[in-house]
Amino acid sequence: MLPRCADRDNISIVFSWKFKSSPKLMEVYKSWSCNKCEEVPTLGHLPCLKVLEINEMDNVRCIGTKFYSDDNYKNALFPTLRRLKLSSMMNLVEWKDAKELTTATCEVFPCLEELIIEGCAKLTSAPCHFPSLKKLEISEICSKAFENISSKLTTLTSLVIESVSQLACLPEQLLQNNTSLMSLEISYCSELESISQHQDVWAFCTSLRSLNIYECEKLSYILDGLHKLISLENFELIGCGNLRCFPSIHGVMPLLRRLMISFCPNLISIPDLRGFSSLTQLQIDHCPNLRTFPSIEGAASLRQLVMSWCGVEALSIGLKSCTSLQILRIEECPNLKRILEGLPESLKTLKIGPFCEMLEAFPSYINSTSIQHSIEHLYLNGWAKLNSLPDEIQSFTALKVLLIANFDGMEALPEWLGNLSSLQKLYLLWCNNLMYLPRTQAMRCLTKLHIYDCPKLKERCVEGSSAEWLNVADIPIIIIDEEYIKGNESED
């Protein structure tokens, strides 16, 4: 590793001579402390060099002949280099391909497996000969340089594309030529409109295991045929504001385990996911124009389902057939009025509400007898009209944690809380008119009471002589507005 230069402000030398006497050098890190250098040193002849990072060389405009070798060197260039990173070279315009230089007739980068280029916004030309490259990470460069680099790649297994300017779609043949690609991530490409112009592009991606698309605001469609991604395990689609329809699947993705669709405000439809037997986690949130939730009937491996900030009005998606479901969150769905199905016996955590403000009670599915002996954590987020808890809760024999929030119409908690013999922790949040707690006997099993922003209840729970203090005095941990009234953080 190169030593940092103490007097970095006065450095403007070229230091390629340092490496001619270091044939066994395995790693070079060009630190930010030499930002006055105008050339990168000659490194291509080092026979043992495996890792090379060149960072923040602001005065370098071209990586050319000297980077590879002197005129007399005829063997392979960078013969053992495995990882190359160019970072924050703000004035780099040209990176010449050794194959195009008259003195370079030998093999170049024969073992390079990982190439990272980031923060080189002015770079417009780059090499295209990387015969062994497996991992490519491109960030903050222009599309022309990316097209050069990727034009002849055939061995990629991982591709990360971030903040590539003027990129309307992926370069022609990129996915077709790299059939071993296992991971593809595209993010913050503001001009991206489509993944590919090839209508059957997914047929070439049978090895793909992870597909992530983030914050591509112009992306208007994703090509159909996702069922051809037979190896796909993880798919995340986040922040694509122009996307209206999720692509048709026309079958089952047999290995898909995790699907996340988030912050797509114009998305109006998602195809059914019936029979996705490997799916374990499904999250769809912040899609306010999504009126219908996809069916998940037969998703026997599903363990966690999250639906929040969506425009769904009714829910009938086959929940009861999801026999492995343990966590269900249906939150912040202001149009939801009806839930037309029961819940599976496997459910342990339920987070629900708020729903349509016109409703005077939670939808009836909470009285499903199938969950009476399985629910351990229940989170109820109410709305203005609610003035009481659902009576069905008193039959939840396994309930350990109960959170009640935004029940502005409720003045008193019911005495039947004492029937919840397993209840250990009670959270009361943002209940502006709540004043009364159950009697001491009903609170006897609690180990923790947390009250936050319930002003009337706070006044009645002052330690000592207040109206409600006797009802809670025996609880080991009491927190009011983030202050430990009883107990401490180490006991919590």
Task: Indicate whether 30 pLDDT > 90.
Answer: no
Min mean pLDDT across 89-93, 415-419, 432-436 is at: 415-419
Over 70: is that where the pLDDT of 9 sits? no
pLDDT at 100 over 80: no
Per-residue pLDDT for 342 more than 80?
yes
pLDDT of residue 364: 66
Give the per-residue pLDDT at 1: 40
Residue 299 has pLDDT above 90, yes or no: yes
Contact (CB, 8 A) for 301 and 280:
yes
Contacts with 178 (C-beta within 8 Å, 6 or more apart), sequence order: 153, 154, 155, 156, 159
Please give the average per-residue pLDDT across 204-208, as a whole number: 97
Query: What local confidence, expressed as pLDDT, does residue 2 receive?
Result: 42
What is the structure's pLDDT at 240? Answer: 97
Quote the longest CA-to-CA distance of the chain: 93
φ, ψ dihedrals at 66, nearest 5°: -65, -25
Spatial neighbors of 451 by CB under 8 A, at least 6 apart, are 428, 429, 457, 458, 461, 478, 479, 480, 481
d(CA 346, CA 337): 25
Q: Is residue 286 classed as helix, strand or coil in its secondary structure?
A: strand
For the entire predicted model, the pTM comes to 0.89
Exposure class string for 182-209: b at 16+ Cβ within 10 A, else e: bbbbbbbbeebebbbebeebbebbebbb
Provide the pLDDT for residue 27. 63
